[in-house]
Amino acid sequence: MEKYFPLNQTVVRGDVGSFVIALVIYLFAPSIVGIVVALLHWLPLVGWLLGITSSLFSLYCLVGLILVVIKYFKK
């Protein structure tokens, strides 16, 4: 999984700073992508493709967020 989620490698158990940084990135990245999609949704084909890409990216960020939490609290 480290190959697909390289940001998770920066999180160290007990290091709150690296945990918070990873959380902020995984929480705000889909928001920024959503804003771009909202601005370009009026384009027929581009808006449709960006919508699908945005959904997949949001799912990627959700899985990454869950993995960060698991890695941080792992014994």
Q: Are 12 and 73 in contact (CB under 8 A)?
A: no
Cα within 13 Å of Cα(48), Cβ side:
2
1-59 pLDDT per residue, tens: 778 888 888 888 888 999 999 999 999 999 999 998 888 888 888 888 988 999 999 99
Residue with the two structure tokens 């940001």:
7
Q: Are 26 and 61 in contact (CB under 8 A)?
A: yes
pTM above 0.95, yes or no: no
Torsion, Cα of 51, 63, 29, 31 (10° steps): 50
